[in-house]
Amino acid sequence: MKIVVLDGGTLNPGDLTWEGLEALGDTVIYDRTPPELVIERSRGAEVVLVNKVVIDRETMEQLPELKFICVLATGYNVIDTAAAKEKGILVANIPTYGTQSVAQMMMAHVLNLAQHVGYHADTVRAGRWSSSDDWCYWDFPMVELHGLTMGVVGFGRIGRNSAAVAKSFGMKILAFDEFVQDPGDPEVEMVDFRTLLQRSDVVTFHTPLTPETEGMLNAETLKLMKKTAFVINTSRGPVIDSQALADALNNDELGGAGLDVLDVEPPPADHPLLTAKNCYVTPHISWATRSARARLMQTAVDNVAGYINRKPMNIVNK
């Protein structure tokens, strides 16, 4: 059986091993694959693994041997799952590998906005403290998180873990998830999206990208937020209208933003959020701790093994 990994370079830049997957079949691994080479490289494969490579209906129609697609991520919007189901192609994802790592990055962005650790460390390195007339200085308001309210948009595994981390700092928790009625925690209050925006000091997104969530934070809904509030996004870039968020930040209608994802990745050099006021963007790395990637790799191997043994797991297009 032929197995092809079309874009495995980010999962394994060299510190992990593909041996588990290679033991399951004739495996070919590409670090990255441009769109024009997807069909050529996938031809003859029964199993294809992708991260951000798009597999649409047209592509599937040219790959008659394809029977199983494993997405090397939790989100699977790069796959036309409806077309795959029609053609009898199973699609699996990796649902739980990065829960702790993503929550950790979420809090790193919150803490950076609250105290600007990196900024102030850079000024010290540049010699400013050594030449200061005072024994301390700060260029931004220092924000204490204890007693503030965090609004969690999307209350699945990562959202719940993020809430637990925030609670450890003494924050109150609101949550919105159209599929969750009972948070399973008496200290978490479930509210509608607009109420969450109105009452939260920090709003963090942990929701999948769907037609309903795309652009859910936009020019209209941003107006509901406190002018001092922070926006954190470690889910999917398109859930936020980038230009609307940039405008709110630049017009001092929002306190700040910490973003690990954008609507276009990699972003163009003129992307509005790259230069927005008090906006900190990291290059989609919340998932990338070695521990999380090792779990992802093992689950991918398990997914392929499950398919081979006719016990498929983590299927998203049943």
Instruction: Tell me which of 120, 236, 271, 295 is the catalytic residue.
Output: 236
Is CATH 3.40.50.720 the classification given to domain 99-281?
yes
- The DSSP H or E segment spanning 203 is strand 202-205
pLDDT in tens, 123-174: 999 999 999 999 999 999 999 999 999 999 999 999 999 999 999 999 999 9
d(CA 200, CA 219): 17
| 212 carries an active-site annotation | no
For residue 34, give both structure tokens. Answer: 């441009």
Check residue 92 and give its pLDDT.
98
Are the CB atoms for 242 and 272 separated by under 8 Å?
A: yes
Q: Which whole number is the average pLDDT over 288-306?
A: 97
Question: Would you kindly state where each structural domain of the chain is located, as residue ranges?
Answer: 2-97+290-308, 99-281
pTM for the complete prediction? Answer: 0.90
Check residue 240 and give its pLDDT.
98
Nearest to 249 by CA among 233, 272, 270, 221: 272
Q: Is the pLDDT of residue 77 over 90?
A: no
Q: Is the pLDDT of residue 298 over 90?
A: yes
pLDDT in tens, 165-211: 999 999 999 999 999 989 999 999 999 999 999 999 999 999 988 89
| 194 carries an active-site annotation | no
Same fold yes or no, 2-97+290-308 and 99-281: yes
Q: Is the pLDDT of residue 225 over 90?
A: yes
d(CA 40, CA 43): 5
Instruction: Count Cβ atoms below 10 Å from residue 159 Cβ, excluding itself.
Output: 28
Check residue 300 and give its pLDDT.
98
At 232, give phi and psi (nearest 5°).
Answer: -120, 135
- The third-level CATH classification (topology) of the domain covering 2-97+290-308 is Rossmann fold (3.40.50)
> pLDDT grade, residue 75 (50/70/90)?
confident
Are the CB atoms for 230 and 256 separated by under 8 Å?
A: yes
Q: How far is CA 306 from the centre of its chain?
A: 26
Residues of the chain with pLDDT > 70, as a percent, come to 100
pLDDT in tens, 52-72: 999 999 999 999 999 999 999
Mean pLDDT of the chain: 97
Check residue 175 and give its pLDDT.
98
Instruction: Tell me which of 57, 86, 265, 290 is the catalytic residue.
Output: 265
- The DSSP H or E segment spanning 90 is strand 90-92
Cis geometry, peptide bond prior to residue 95 (ω within 30 degrees of 0)? no
Using CA atoms, how far residue 195 sits from 72, 150, 161, 210, 244, in Å, is 35, 12, 22, 21, 20
pLDDT in tens, 228-283: 999 999 999 999 999 999 999 999 999 999 999 999 999 999 999 999 999 999 99
| 265 carries an active-site annotation | yes
Check residue 96 and give its pLDDT.
87
Instruction: Tell me which of 120, 199, 271, 284 is the catalytic residue.
Output: 284
